[in-house]
């Protein structure tokens, strides 16, 4: 099976950069796959992925992917990162994600969010986890 995490990452970024609710809070040019510190403010960094076998199909064509998004904003409160996380949740929950040919999204949801204060005292950080069940479509 090809690696589905990259196909999913592209689909998530496309969804977020194309959603007016998200881009009203974070410019599309600041929704990135990069390891940059300090991150642009505000920004959404496409982060780490974990892929596990959900043991649903004997054919082993299903995988569950936990995608992590990091939300950054230079502010002393958590209000901005909470608003951005809410916009991400709305965008992800709107409709099925369109992934590259070869995969089908069976389920996708924001399964968790955490909000943290950066030790620098000036930056807020949100961590959004997206839980996606994918199935490889074989010809």
Give pLDDT tens digits for 30-50: 999 887 776 788 999 998 999
What tokens does 54 get? 């959900």
Write the CA distances from 28 to 35, 47, 52, 54, 120, integer angstroms: 17, 16, 30, 33, 26
Q: For position 137, what pLDDT does the model report?
A: 83
CATH architecture of the domain covering 4-136? 2-Layer Sandwich (3.30)
4-32 average pLDDT score: 95
Q: Specify the DSSP element, H or E, that contains 9.
A: helix 4-17
Cβ density class 65-100: b for 16+ within 10 Å, e for less: bbbebbbbbbeeebebbbbbbbbbbebbeeeebebe
Q: SS3 letters for 93-112?
A: HCCCCCCCCCEEEEEEEEEE
Res 1 pLDDT > 60: no
114-125 average pLDDT score: 91
| Closest residue by Cα to residue 100 from 1, 3, 8 | 8
Strands 123-136 vs 31-32: parallel, antiparallel or unpaired: unpaired
Res 75 pLDDT > 70: yes
Res 15 pLDDT > 60: yes
Q: Where are the alpha helices (DSSP H) in 18-60?
A: 20-23
């Amino acid at each position: 099976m090809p690696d589905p995490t990259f196909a999913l990452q592209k689909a998530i970024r496309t969804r977020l950069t194309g959603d007016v609710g998200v881009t009203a809070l974070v410019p599309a040019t600041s929704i990135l796959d990069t390891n940059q510190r300090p991150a642009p403010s505000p920004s959404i960094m496409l982060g780490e992925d974990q892929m596990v076998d959900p043991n649903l199909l004997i054919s082993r064509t299903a995988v569950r992917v936990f995608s992590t998004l990091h939300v950054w904003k230079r502010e002393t409160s958590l209000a901005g990162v909470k608003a951005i996380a809410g916009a991400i949740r709305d965008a992800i929950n709107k409709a099925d994600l369109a992934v590259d040919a070869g995969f089908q999204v069976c389920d996708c949801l924001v399964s968790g969010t955490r909000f943290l204060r950066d030790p620098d005292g000036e930056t807020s950080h949100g961590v959004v986890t997206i839980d996606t069940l994918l199935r490889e479509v074989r010809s």
